[in-house]
Amino acid sequence: MHISPVRMIFFTWMALFFIRINPLLAQPNFPDDGEVFRDDVVPKIDIYIHPDTLQWIYNNPHSNIEWRASFVFDNGNIHDSIVEVGFRLRGNTSRQSAKKSFKVSFNTYQKGRKYYGLEKMNLNGEHNDPSVTRAKLCWDLARSLEIPAPRSNHVRVFINGNYFGLYLNVEHIDDEFVQSRYGTQYGNLYKCLYPADLKYLGTNPNLYKYESGGRRAYDLKTNRAYDDYTDLSEFIQILNNTPIGLLPCELERVFNVQDYIKVLAFDVFIANWDGYIYNKNNFYLYKNPESGRFEYIPYDLDNTFGVDWANIDWANRNIYYWAPSNQQSEPRPLYTRLMSVQRYKDLFSFYLNKIAQEILIQPDYYTYMDDIRDRIYPYIIDDPYYPLDYGFNTDTFLEAYDNAWGNHVKYGIKPYFTTRLNSLQQQIQLNPIYPVINYIQVEHGGVGSPVNFSLTVWDDQPEVQVWLRYRFNQSEFVTMPMTPLQNDKFEATLDGVLGQVTLRYHFQVKDASGNFIFYPCETEELYFAPLYTSGLYINEFMASNASTIFDENGEFDDWIELYNAGPEAIWLGDKYLSDKLNNPTKWQMPDHAIFPGDYLIIWADGDMEQGPFHAGFKLSADGESIGIFNNEQNNYSAIDTYTFSSQQTDVSFGRSPDGNSMWVFFDEPTPGSSNIVYTINDNMNSASGFFVYPNPAKSNIIHLPNKKSFYIYDTSGRLLIEGKGKDFIDVSTLDRGVYLLKTFENDIVKIIIQ
């Protein structure tokens, strides 16, 4: 069984090589099905809950109380039992149906517990769909198009030993989902439900917290304690108010337009009228803190492929007029404004044609559908709830792929495809597209190391030319051809960057049709500064401190942690700290020395009257720079600088380990102490009770309680001492500072030499 324990931040303590990655448009990840989402079988899920509790749940269908239950999962390969999970109903209209949908929560009663990386499990009854397959087909199609979408599979659900029917297990969209797709979970994740039309309401972020049906239309699911809608407000303002001629440059700064247009084409093809474009409903927006852009994530795809409640023939609806016709009363700016930009409209057409030509007309696509039907049919036969809502029976199920059932099911699935393909061919307007630049990454190891650029380019032409356009400081721009690789990827490398410089860059692409594009519109910047040999570092900072640590006045101010990684004490009185790299003398640091291995907190509150450790500036959570600068005799040269993007409240950003070049988020910040989070207690014993003494050590000998074999590393992971079968350690060769001792039994102890 694969159950994660309570979440604990533990960064790798021996790090030998670091690469800094600056994603401009990061490529999403696509985790495999794993055991939970295997769809070559139909796993069995058992829920055990007190019968009176189950009856209460059914008597109160709109309650979201998660009741204690036990959970058993069996797919023929694994058989897992979990006690004390949360169990409740889920969904909207399905709560009133006979066949209800369920949510299983693995972390309700054990905080941080996960099952194969999942904190929640959604079991959807799919009661509107006689095929019980539409949503599954949609999610699979989305993933084949490389749209970050939930995984799904059919499962059999039993409650207290009674068969409740065939269900669709759909991956829950939450912080774990965005972590697995985008490599980060610290951004704002909004669940957007009716009437989430993205209409501009004003500049006040609180205007977008309005409620409908007892919940917010834009419901913030992460960082809820801070309830900050500034990023959403900015996105909606740019989307609605930017002149069309400027919209591509402005919108692409804050929104992943390239991937969204693919979703737009996908929604139109599958007739997802219950999503954003027609019904202002059922989508997520995730503000990716790595790229600074919102990502669009589709959600809830059962009302598709000819299911209709609006008396509209979706298979023949014009692909360019999909939104409601009255835009005054029913605005859909994310659809209509993008369709007003010709190159976006052409890209939308390109993706629609790609879906039709490369996926759905393939002969094995219908075979794939038939395989699903044959696999789940045995479990429809005995499903006691399948007939209850609409009178479905086994004949209904078998015919659902080829024939319309009637009422709200206007098409069988296969006839819908045929009709949509035919109408699309009549409606589509195919023009040469502009090249699509996506999935940009810039990798470097700091001053002196090469800078590697890579990106993906899609086009309707077989050959494109790609250039990196860059300059250092204020020099002339240089244009460098990028090397084509497989899978539409291109790369270029700049030799090691030396000295204190600003690198500005963007990309240009030209295809065989002569279409030419720069991306991004404005150049991106990377700032390089040599690390000062003194060993003084900006080690950690927090640009939005609401509850993590307070100063001597009881105020929760922004803070910056300095660290001395060198062998000697460093006096700060002739050095400066600044949040403006072009103003190095903004705040002179106090008459204070940091000893080797020590840390110092500077409060970035702009209130110098509160004491010598209160800087004359504040940090911006939207992103800026921090720099330590030398004195006038050294030309105010940079000792250490860092430029950061948007930050989250009460999440710090720092080096891992201390003084190294890799920066990571800490959702358990470590102000004034090491950024290596150990599984040891305050007196620096290991988790198993192993200890050394004296620690901190002022003499040349450290004693072990019994003979041990061990290694000692510095904080950069460099092996310094190796010993075998000893009960003492000679540390006379070590400078003052912090070190790590690891035994052959994998005990880890932090030792301090004074």
Average pLDDT per 10 consecutive residues for the chain, totaling 754 residues: 30 29 66 95 98 97 96 97 97 92 96 92 97 98 94 99 98 94 89 98 97 96 88 97 97 96 98 97 93 94 95 97 92 98 97 85 84 98 97 96 95 95 95 92 76 92 93 92 93 82 91 91 77 76 91 89 87 90 90 86 90 92 91 84 90 87 84 66 47 72 76 69 78 77 75 75
Do residue 289 and residue 317 come from a single domain?
yes
Q: Give me the pLDDT at residue 444, please.
A: 76
Residue 157 covered by a domain? yes
Domain coverage including residue 490: 436-528
Given 376, 397, 427, the domain boundary residue is: 427
Do residue 545 and residue 565 come from a single domain?
yes
Distance of CA 337 to CAs 142, 178, 514, 572, Å? 24, 27, 25, 54
Each residue of 671-695: pLDDT tens digit? 888 887 543 333 344 445 566 777 7
Residue 48 covered by a domain? yes
Do residue 174 and residue 226 come from a single domain?
yes
Residue 17 covered by a domain? no
Q: Give me the pLDDT at residue 353, please.
A: 94
**Count of the separate structural domains present in the chain:** 4
User: What phi, psi does 167 have (nearest 5°)?
Assistant: -130, 160
CATH number at residue 477: 2.60.40.10
Residue 289 covered by a domain? yes
Q: Alpha-carbon distance 356 to 416, whole Å?
A: 13
Residue 258 covered by a domain? yes
Do residue 591 and residue 688 come from a single domain?
no
Residue 616 covered by a domain? yes
Do residue 327 and residue 217 come from a single domain?
yes
Do residue 203 and residue 347 come from a single domain?
yes
Spatial contact of 150 and 177, defined as CB atoms under 8 Å apart:
yes
Do residue 389 and residue 497 come from a single domain?
no
CATH number at residue 635: 2.60.40
Q: Give me the pLDDT at residue 168, please.
A: 99
Which one-letter amino acid corresponds to residue 42?
V
Do residue 453 and residue 515 come from a single domain?
yes
Helix (H, G, I), strand (E, B) or coil at 586: coil
Q: Give me the pLDDT at residue 443, please.
A: 84
Given 490, 507, 528, the domain boundary residue is: 528
Given 528, 544, 568, the domain boundary residue is: 528
Which one-letter amino acid corresponds to residue 550?
F
Do residue 396 and residue 540 come from a single domain?
no
Spatial contact of 216 and 186, defined as CB atoms under 8 Å apart:
no
Residue 566 covered by a domain? yes
Do residue 496 and residue 577 come from a single domain?
no
Distance of CA 667 to the CA centre of its chain: 15
Pairing mode, if any, of strands 44-48 and 152-159?
A: parallel
Helix (H, G, I), strand (E, B) or coil at 97: coil
Which one-letter amino acid corresponds to residue 295?
E
Do residue 287 and residue 420 come from a single domain?
yes
User: What phi, psi does 143 have (nearest 5°)?
Assistant: -65, -35
Residue 1 covered by a domain? no
Radius of gyration of the chain (CA): 29
Q: Alpha-carbon distance 234 to 243, whole Å?
A: 15
Do residue 247 and residue 174 come from a single domain?
yes
Cα dihedral 193/197/202/204 (nearest 10):
20
